[in-house]
Amino acid sequence: MINQLKKILTDKLFLISLGVLILVNFIGHMQPADIDWATIGTLFALMVVVQLMNHLNILISISDHLIKMVDNGRRFAQLMIVIAFLGAMVMTNDVAIISIVPLYLFTARKYHLPIIMPATLITIAANLGSVLTPFGNPQNLFIFNHYHFAVTRFFIITGPLVAISLLLILLVTMTIQKKPFQPHSQSIQLGDQRSLMVTLGLAIIVLAGVFKLVAIPVIVVAAILVTIWIDRKILLTVDYSLLLTFACFFLIAGILSRDQFVTTVIHDLMRTPTSTYLTSIGASQLISNVPAAVLLANFTSNGTALLLGTNIGGLGTLVASLANLLALKQVVAFQRSAALPFIKTFTIVNVILLVIIGIIGWIMLII
């Protein structure tokens, strides 16, 4: 417990977000209702499932099977990127990142593969792949319900963008080193059968929670009880500093949404579809795309511009999508020295794609 507390108090990302929250609190007051508790609870349950799978050697076993499908590092990275891209469409970008990035990192360690560019592109692929469906990411779900989109209309907007995004991502994968390797099998000792089955059951329940089929408190309690039954120490491996960072971002967005000066500026910036589109991209760079979608929806009736802007706005800065922080945490946990190289590469690639896809999105908006 003491080690976990030290980890939280030394987490730079959390400390920065906490510092910003303290400063923003001078212009307004935070409210517990500003926090999206459903998102926090879901992320906690997802992280517990991943830690359980790691504890039972499930992730290592899956990576061992996937690596047999390819013969070099670039092809393996491309395989994982496509899996993340397609998987995010049905299981959300958060789930794709929190499960597939560790899978790649496990294999990268075993075969000495590059981690920076592949982890970057897996994250981008999950974010952009999730754009296709109404339930692919939180902002889509919110916008879909808020503006009462017809399903066909929604896919007409997101389909072309997603197709173009995949082509661009695959083009960037050509920069990944084509390092040949010979896959080799190894004896992997999985956890006991009962623990495996219970963990699988928990994973299904948690995914059901993601799709709103099971109440969030139920999946949180289930995750805690299962972990206590298998090994309570696993609860100490959950990244609580990340959950606190998410909470800070929600509180910051909530305070800003109630400030008269901020709301006046936003209202003036969102008079046309193009200005709404650009404002949503810009806001996403500062407070991330989910809070941006919730905040800006109060000032525009143009759901298409907001949908395109907040999804494309997930590119750019590290905080443009809170899902990006999940990837950063996975990379840091794998290799702490990779943090700065990852942030640098991640930012460069994201900004370049933001410009390219941003122009494409604007053209789609005005035609």
Residue 32 DSSP class: G
Can you tell me the distance from the alpha carbon of 51 to that of 89, in angstroms, rounded to the nearest whole number?
23
Q: How many CA atoms lie within 13 A of 250 on its CB side?
A: 16
Neighbours of 337 (CB within 10 A): 8
Which tokens belong to 334? 């794998």
Can you tell me the distance from the alpha carbon of 304 to that of 142, in angstroms, rounded to the nearest whole number?
13
CB of 221 closer than 8 Å to CB of 209: no
Taking alpha carbons only, the member of 250, 361, 345, 246 closest to residue 310 is 361
Flag residues of the chain having pLDDT under 70.
Answer: 1, 183-188
Alpha-carbon distances, residue 172 vs 82, 124, 333, 367 (angstroms) = 13, 11, 25, 28
Query: Coil, strand, or helix at residue 180?
Result: strand
DSSP codes, 138-167: HHHHHHHHHTT--HHHHHHHHHHHHHHHHH
DSSP codes, 38-96: HHHHHHHHHHHHHHHHHHTTHHHHHHHHHHTT-SBHHHHHHHHHHHHHHHHHHH-HHHH
Can you tell me the distance from the alpha carbon of 329 to that of 335, in angstroms, rounded to the nearest whole number?
10
Phi, psi angles (nearest 5°) of residue 5? -65, -40
Alpha-carbon distances, residue 255 vs 16, 24, 69, 105, 307 (angstroms) = 17, 7, 50, 37, 23
Facing residues of 72 across strands? 180
Q: Which amino acid is at 199?
A: T
Taking alpha carbons only, the member of 81, 128, 72 closest to residue 100 is 81
Phi-psi region of 67 (alpha: psi -120 to 50; beta: other; left: phi over 0): alpha
Can you tell me the distance from the alpha carbon of 270 to that of 21, in angstroms, rounded to the nearest whole number?
25
Whole-model pTM: value is 0.83
Can you tell me the distance from the alpha carbon of 12 to that of 93, in angstroms, rounded to the nearest whole number?
24
Which residue's entry shows tokens 């047999």? 68
Q: Which amino acid is at 236?
A: L
CB of 100 closer than 8 Å to CB of 84: yes
Taking alpha carbons only, the member of 145, 136, 46 closest to residue 91 is 136
How far is residue 148 CA from its own chain's centroid?
Answer: 25
SS3 content of the chain, % helix, strand, coil (to 5): 80, 0, 20
Q: Which amino acid is at 134?
A: P
What is the pLDDT, as a whole number, of residue 342?
A: 97
Phi, psi angles (nearest 5°) of residue 117? -65, -45
What is the pLDDT, as a whole number, of residue 186?
A: 61
How far is residue 39 CA from its own chain's centroid?
Answer: 11
